Chains A and B, each alone.
Chain A
Amino acid sequence: MNSEISGVILQWAALVALSYPLGRYIAKVYRGERSWLDFLNPVERWIYKICGIDPQQEMDWKQFLKSLLAVNLFWFFWGMLLLCCQGWLPLNPDGNPGQTPDLSFNTCISFMVNCNLQHYSGETGLTYFTQLFVIMLFQFVTAACGMAAMAGIMKALGAKTTKTIGNFWVFMTRSVTRILLPLSLAVGILLVINGTPMSFDGKQTIETLEGEQQIISQGPTAAIVPIKQLGTNGGGYFGPNSSHPLENPNAFTNILECWSILIIPMAMVWAFGCYVRRRKLSAWIFAVMLVAYTGGVAFSVSQEMNGSKQIAGMGIAQDLGSMEGKEIRLGSAASAMWGMTTTVTSNGSVNSMHDSQTPLSGMMQMLNMQINCWFGGVGVGWMNYFTFLIIAVFISGLMVGRTPEFLGHKVEAREMKIATMVVLLHPFLILVGTGVSAFMASGNPNIGWLNNPSFHGLSEMLYEYTSAAANNGSGFEGLGDNTPFWNIATGIVLIMGRYFPIVGQVAIAGLLANKKYIPESAGTLRTDTGTFSLMTFAVIVIVAALSFFPALALGPISDYLSI
């Protein structure tokens, strides 16, 4: 078998096999049960003491959400201040200047919402200080924030009737100390062994084989890359992200980093089943997501390995597949798999340039982000699926004439209103943003954003808003996006795309948990069956198809047909 295909299958198998034990462990962490990391108890008690947190205090869903929003508001000011002033701060051996206010706004919000859309180049746009105390800090705490929100939902749904959904601060602290930090340490050590730099020295000047001088950036890369992947953050230490040889040195690190992107989102699905003791339901959710992900990977790998007809027409051999924008040391299959993995999650890191992938692979990447719930971001991906579950329960209940219930709680008009608003906000942000930008670009041909005309130019703008709304962060890099318009427009889309869904989803869970528990009976619509899972899949695909097909037809599909 082709070694590239073997690598893809090996990685897929490692993800599926290890997701269940990790999910079971995550459920134990949030339930507060004994685990092998209990020696960290004194550290956590110290954090609670310093921050004035009472870990025994239970919160209702409103207190839980207000705590989440308050800490994020604090980080917003923290990030804006440090990014604007980084030129005057320590750990800046290369003398990088402070960011402009609009770029700081975009960078700060982008990292604060777990997106990591980067309108700057990592090694020149930031200092070591801001890499560590803005970027890396946010990569831990924002991932933990999403996981804590999901833990609150699990607690709400796992109880029969309750007014409280746990303590946000405890869930967030445990997410960092017991899940993200240990995994990041293990991955970081493996990266250092394989050649990823970990130092505070400035740029090195070396002489190349041709006798030219080359300046090589380095820094604490191995500290940042693991959490970049495990927290589905995606912001590269270097501008070219994981296609840079120091950020992703070889085939092993490529598999390790790509595995790290998806392992926690996959495990969170099992964590839900273990937490609420509904393993069969989580198995069906996992199956739906896995089928969608695997189908996308198979499609994209075949597209990229078959090569580009247009380039073949120029007389350039396509034996290795479509290699434009890809690293020879990684190959077309691994690049296609990474592209799909990074877009089914809210990661957004890249090991090849998505702008250069074949049009239909680009379409699949956009579709993954537009659907935004095939595993998705850590915690929030499952929460997006939960919104569609509520809609599917309601529609199925109406279709078969049964009261819509989910885990023993009636789904009523209020939950449906919130779920509908959450689901429709996503296409609204993407399509309105793309429409306004396309209108501005068509009215001023010298606007300077678009390096590609016609269908591909529209795809670049559509991709940028899709990536921002899905909090993904990858980009079709042909777009000139470091301008005040793009920095502020995508900044607003980023902040809207993150918090409105979280507030809505936690509210739905909290409101359901407040209701009287109804024991399952023969008249209950079962949600842990293949039929219901197919129904949920259909709801997701129909909503996505109806919302996005016209825009995709004008972008990547027209691009494909015009080749």
Chain B
Amino acid sequence: MNTMILCILLCALGVLCYWLYFKCVDWFEKI
């Protein structure tokens, strides 16, 4: 795979993980 595309995809994967944790913060209040 093209290096640049792989780099962008992996950055997006990292951002997705953090988005999940931000959601968890709100979720834990309501769980």
Which residues of chain A have a CB within 8 Å of any CB of chain B? 62, 65-66, 69, 72-73, 76-77, 80, 84, 100-102, 104-105, 109, 414, 417-418, 488, 491-492, 495-496, 499-500, 503-504, 507, 511
Contacts and interface: CB of A to CB of B under 8 A. Distances in A.
30 contacts: A62-B25, A65-B25, A66-B22, A69-B21, A69-B22, A73-B15, A76-B11, A76-B14, A76-B15, A77-B11, A80-B7, A80-B11, A84-B7, A100-B3, A101-B3, A101-B6, A101-B7, A104-B7, A104-B10, A105-B10, A414-B28, A417-B31, A418-B31, A492-B17, A496-B17, A499-B21, A500-B21, A503-B21, A503-B28, A507-B25
Q: Which of A80, A105, A417, A491 has the most CB of B within 10 A?
A: A105
Nearest to B8: A101
Interface string B1-25: 0010011001101110110011011
Q: Which of A77, A101, A492, A507 has the most CB of B within 10 A?
A: A101
Contacts of A84: 7
A73 B18 contact: yes
Given A65-B25, A500-B24, A507-B25, A101 B18 contact: no
Interface of B: 3, 6-7, 10-11, 13-15, 17-18, 21-22, 24-26, 28-29, 31
The A contact surface, by secondary structure, is helix
Given A102-B6, A488-B10, 4 more contacts: A418-B31, A488-B13, A503-B21, A503-B28
B10 A495 contact: no
A309 B17 CA distance: 47
Given A66-B22, A72-B18, A102 B28 contact: no
Contacts of B7: 80, 84, 101, 104
Nearest to B11: A80
A430 B7 CA distance: 26
A62 B26 contact: yes
Contacts, number: 66
A109 B21 contact: no
Contacts of B15: 73, 76
Contacts of A504: 24, 28
Please list the 9 inter-chain residue pairs (A to B) with the smallest Cβ-Cβ separation, ordered nearest first: A101-B7, A507-B28, A105-B10, A101-B6, A73-B18, A499-B21, A495-B17, A65-B25, A76-B14
Contacts of B10: 80, 101-102, 104-105, 488, 491
B14 A503 contact: no
A38 B11 CA distance: 40
Contacts of B18: 69, 72-73, 76, 499
Contacts of B3: 100-101
A77 B18 CA distance: 12
Given A492-B13, A495-B17, A69 B6 contact: no
Q: Which of B7, B21, B31 has the most CB of A within 10 A?
A: B21
A417 to B, nearest CB: 6
Contacts of B6: 101-102
A303 to B, nearest CB: 38
A372 B6 CA distance: 33
Contacts of A496: 17
A208 B31 CA distance: 66
A130 to B, nearest CB: 16
A418 B28 contact: yes
A65 B13 CA distance: 20
Given A101-B7, A492-B17, A69 B25 contact: yes
Contacts of B28: 414, 418, 503-504, 507, 511
A105 B26 contact: no
A74 B7 CA distance: 16
A414 B27 CA distance: 11
Nearest to A100: B3
Contacts of A507: 25, 28-29
Q: Which of A72, A102, A496 has the most CB of B within 10 A?
A: A102
B2 to A, nearest CB: 10
